[in-house]
Amino acid sequence: MYKFFLTWRYMSRRILSFVAVLVLGAAVAALVVAPSIMSGFQEEFHKRLRGTLSDLVYYGSIPFSVADDDRIREALEGLDNVEAAAPYLENPAIDKHLKKMDYCFLRGIIPEQEERVSKLREFFISEREAYKLCNDYRLGTAEQKEEIDLVANEMSDDPNTDEVLKKLVDGDPEDPDLPTCVVGIYYMKRWKLFVGDTIRLTTASDEGEVEQDKKFKVVGVFKSGHHQTDRRLIVTGLRTLQEFIKVPGRVTGWSMRLKDYKQAEQTKKDVIGEIQYGPLRKIALRDEATGFFILTWEERNQNLLKAVKMERLLIKLMTILIVVAASASIFLVLFMTVHSKVRELGILRAVGASRTGVLLLFVGQGFLIALLGMLLGLVFGYWFGANINEIADYLHYYTGWHPFPPEVYHLDRIPVRFSLEENLVNFGITLLLGSAAAIVPGLLAALKPPLKAIRYE
């Protein structure tokens, strides 16, 4: 029983012990939060990126070398594992706003077909939600929110998805001469635009000729959660974009949705067979010499996915090293305790305390410091992780600096996914390191001869 009493007494009488608890707590909090953010980032990044892409895509090695022909869609959908196929056309463009210019990407689609291969419909948001997001409603003062509400209450809370998609194909009845488009929420916020405004785009045609100052009317807003998509992508009708860049009857490629994604490799072989040896041989490409690619969504983004996976591993290793370094504080505290309690330890040995008992006295103190530090770190780590987006938003709102810039991490919010299994492992690692850090000071105390220790000055 004396070991428990002295363990608490030695610890509670030294302020350095509580400093060690705080240091270890901060390290454990980092060990909880950083890997949880990276786990959430990896999961959410996959989810958001996955939502904007089809399972499989077939496109030519030369721009606009793939035919826009319903026979291609019928042939692809006739394959065993292909549920749906849809054509798409992509081209970079320059958008102009007053004296400012920036780049963007135009994507032409047939909405009713695109819906079958991607989650297009899920991304549209209402005018009211778009207005509030563009004006940072959640971070505004009470007066600012009241002013925003006055304007937003007059707007529709319905995304009107069917109407927006219809306008992409047929145009806006109010402005029949203007082609229509849909833009992302960060594009709207960057240029302070809103539904009904017009944008000016410049892009090159298939022959390299430049079309100057083509106006498009914004008829809807989408929010995929993938920052680059919401910032750079402009969606318009396939026929509209074909006319704009003068490539009638041509597309960039065909998107496909698979019934079973696990069979993607076999499906790729089936598509290759259709193009090279099947009925698509003479209609799929501009000429037989043109090459083509068939890639899954993961293959199209393999460098990004590998980078995210590697970053998660590095963050995990770094935070473990931080905990190891913080555990050194336990060693220092107990080492100083041994040197300041030499006479007391000698008296303990003289009245019957065993070497094992003295060793356990210090190992127990290290274990207790590690336990308290771990509990403190878990509480703070979970609180910080649960509120990290609010903290980041307020920092950005008041200082202009964002600790996790969306344009770098590609997500509009910081995702956090706490893992019970990982935290149990962290629990064991922290207690093990804390106890191990106490072994050397404990051995020094246990091996001191009692008589020399009592005579120590």
DSSP line for 101-149: EEEEEEEEE-HHHHTTTS-GGGGEE-HHHHHHHHTTGGGS-HHHHHHHH
Q: How far is CA 67 from the centre of its chain?
A: 36
Same domain for 315 and 218: no
Same domain for 188 and 134: yes
d(CA 202, CA 102) in angstroms, rounded, equals 10
Same domain for 338 and 284: no
Helix (H) or strand (E) holding 27: helix 15-52
CA angle 195, 198, 204 (to 5 degrees): 130
Length of the chain (residues): 457
pTM of the model: 0.68
Q: Return the structure tokens found at 15.
A: 């302020």
Same domain for 149 and 8: no
Same domain for 379 and 254: no
Same domain for 118 and 61: yes
How do beta strands 292-296 and 56-60 pair?
antiparallel
The residue from 250, 275, 300 where one domain ends is 300
Pair 290, 58: CB distance under 8 Å: no
How do beta strands 124-125 and 210-222 pair?
antiparallel
Q: Exposed, middle or buried, 56 (CB in 10 Å: 0-12/13-18/19+)?
A: buried
Q: Return the structure tokens found at 337.
A: 């305790």
Same domain for 228 and 118: yes
d(CA 295, CA 273) in angstroms, rounded, equals 15
- Three-state DSSP class for residue 60: strand
Count CB-CB contacts under 10 A for residue 15.
9
Helix (H) or strand (E) holding 380: helix 355-386
From 86, 122, 92, select the one nearest 107 (Cα to Cα): 92
pLDDT at 290: 64
Q: Return the structure tokens found at 427.
A: 């629990």
Query: CA-based Rg of the chain, rounded to a whole angstrom?
Result: 32
Same domain for 395 and 268: no
pLDDT at 455: 54
At 214, the amino acid letter reads K
At 325, the amino acid letter reads A
Q: List phi, psi (to 5°) of 130.
A: -60, -40
d(CA 435, CA 4) in angstroms, rounded, equals 15
Same domain for 397 and 290: no
Q: Report helix angle 342-350 to 355-386, nearest 10.
A: 130
Alpha helices in 140-281 (DSSP H): 142-152, 161-170, 185-191, 227-232, 238-245, 264-276
Q: Report helix angle 439-446 to 302-340, nearest 10.
A: 20
Q: Exposed, middle or buried, 313 (CB in 10 Å: 0-12/13-18/19+)?
A: exposed
Same domain for 321 and 221: no
d(CA 15, CA 289) in angstroms, rounded, equals 78
d(CA 294, CA 245) in angstroms, rounded, equals 24
Q: How far is CA 197 from the centre of its chain?
A: 31
User: How many helices (H) and strands (E) would you count in the chain?
Assistant: 20, 12
d(CA 57, CA 85) in angstroms, rounded, equals 9
- Three-state DSSP class for residue 378: helix
For each of the chain's 457 residues, which pLDDT tens digit applies? 555 555 555 555 556 667 777 877 888 888 788 777 777 777 766 666 666 778 899 888 888 888 888 888 988 998 989 999 999 999 999 888 767 888 899 999 999 999 999 888 888 999 888 888 888 766 667 788 888 888 888 888 888 889 999 999 898 888 888 999 999 998 988 888 888 899 999 886 655 556 667 899 999 999 887 778 888 999 999 999 999 888 888 899 999 999 998 898 999 988 888 887 777 777 766 655 567 888 888 887 777 667 667 777 777 777 777 777 777 777 766 666 665 555 555 655 565 666 676 666 767 777 777 788 888 888 888 888 888 888 887 787 777 777 777 655 656 677 788 877 777 777 777 777 777 777 766 666 666 665 555 555 4
The residue from 239, 267, 300 where one domain ends is 300
CA angle 384, 389, 393 (to 5 degrees): 120
Q: List phi, psi (to 5°) of 111.
A: -50, -50
Total domain count, the chain: 2
pLDDT at 206: 58
d(CA 102, CA 199) in angstroms, rounded, equals 12
- Three-state DSSP class for residue 293: strand
pLDDT at 62: 83
Domain residues for the domain of 189 are 54-300
Same domain for 350 and 283: no
Using the CB atoms, write b or e for 35-49: b if 16+ within 10 Å. bbbbbbbbebbbebb
d(CA 103, CA 85) in angstroms, rounded, equals 29
The residue from 285, 300, 315 where one domain ends is 300
Pair 106, 285: CB distance under 8 Å: no
- Three-state DSSP class for residue 327: helix
Same domain for 65 and 26: no
